[in-house]
Amino acid sequence: MTDLILAHGFDRHAPAERSAAPARDRPPAPHPGRGPAWLGLVIPLLALAGLELAVRAGAVPAHLLPPPSEVAGALHALGAAELWRHVGASVARVAIGFGLGAVLAVLVGAWVGLSPRAAALLDPSIQGLRAIPSLAWVPLLLLWMGIDEAPKITLIAIGAFFPVYLNLTAAIVHVDRRLVEVGRVHGLRGWGLVRHVFLPAALPELFTGLRGGLGLAWMFLVAAELIAATRGLGYLLSDGRETGRADIMLGAIALLGLLGKISDSALALIERRALHWHDGFGSTRA
């Protein structure tokens, strides 16, 4: 990709007069990147402290919105082994479902993006399926697959599929036509053109789709674990609702948010390393 960009007129060995351009004509300095990591903790910590004080002062009913200290105590009372059993089940389901959905989305999205005939054939049906709510799939998946792990993983894969597919197809369609022409001038065809032109150009938007798909995978997890689950954070949330335990429900929600953030940060780290060559505005931000 770098060779193609250089050949397209952005040669680093440009004439001397270009490098000697006045400072006022040069582009602005790149974005300094993200701020200190601790800054992201300010709002959550202030919210937790404010909620704790509000409940202790009697401004908020404790039976409806327990304080964070009570939520932490309820999770501790479950026991480490029981809690890890639920967390492990949910993490495994999201990992498998997201992996399957993302791989399928990349394959189908690349085909649709690169082939006008495939786009005409498949894209209308995929867009129609995208509009179906997640819970609408539950009874059908139960009928087809029973109550084991298969319907849960399938539902999560469905949630992960569409953001990856949409971002990848859009990225391929929006690749600069001039880059494709330069690649063909340099003798690139088929897989060579995909590898050296389409893939580098589409990679930023692909990672955006992957992160969106991962977020939806965690959201679909709750619906998936309503399918006759006996373990998992979605089950813990449902169990807390049935027993009137707001502390358990809030604890499950907090764990879902924490795990979602951890997994997104891991994917963002992979994105930064994969796009180290991409000199975009704020490209070092997570």
pLDDT tens digit string along 37-52?
778 889 989 999 998 9
Decide if pLDDT at 117 tops 90: yes
Name the average pLDDT for the chain.
83
Q: What are phi and psi of 225, to 5 degrees?
A: -80, 0
Confidence of residue 34 (pLDDT cuts 50, 70, 90): low
pLDDT of the residue at 285? 54
Please indicate, yes or no, if residue 19 is contained in any of the structural domains. Answer: no
Please indicate, yes or no, if residue 63 is contained in any of the structural domains. Answer: no
Please indicate, yes or no, if residue 241 is contained in any of the structural domains. Answer: no
pLDDT of the residue at 58? 85
Please indicate, yes or no, if residue 200 is contained in any of the structural domains. Answer: yes
Decide if pLDDT at 282 tops 80: no
pLDDT of the residue at 266? 95
- pLDDT (mean) for 75-99: 93
- CA 188, CA 182: separation in Å to the nearest integer? 9
pLDDT of the residue at 280? 67
Domain of 134?
A: 81-232
Q: Work out how many domains the chain is built from and give that number.
A: 1
Share of the chain above pLDDT 70, in %: 83
Please indicate, yes or no, if residue 211 is contained in any of the structural domains. Answer: yes
Confidence of residue 11 (pLDDT cuts 50, 70, 90): very low
Which CATH number belongs to the domain containing residue 182 in this structure? Answer: 1.10.3720.10
Please indicate, yes or no, if residue 52 is contained in any of the structural domains. Answer: no
pLDDT of the residue at 174? 85
- CA 186, CA 167: separation in Å to the nearest integer? 28
Contact in structure between 68 and 52 (CB atoms under 8 Å): yes
Element (H, E) at 273: helix 246-274
pLDDT tens digit string along 236-273?
998 888 888 899 999 999 999 999 999 999 999 999 99
Decide if pLDDT at 13 tops 50: no
Please indicate, yes or no, if residue 255 is contained in any of the structural domains. Answer: no
Contact in structure between 140 and 197 (CB atoms under 8 Å): no
Please indicate, yes or no, if residue 24 is contained in any of the structural domains. Answer: no
- Report the half-sphere exposure of 140 (CA within 13 A, side-chain side): 8
pLDDT of the residue at 160? 95
- pLDDT (mean) for 272-285: 72
Confidence of residue 157 (pLDDT cuts 50, 70, 90): very high
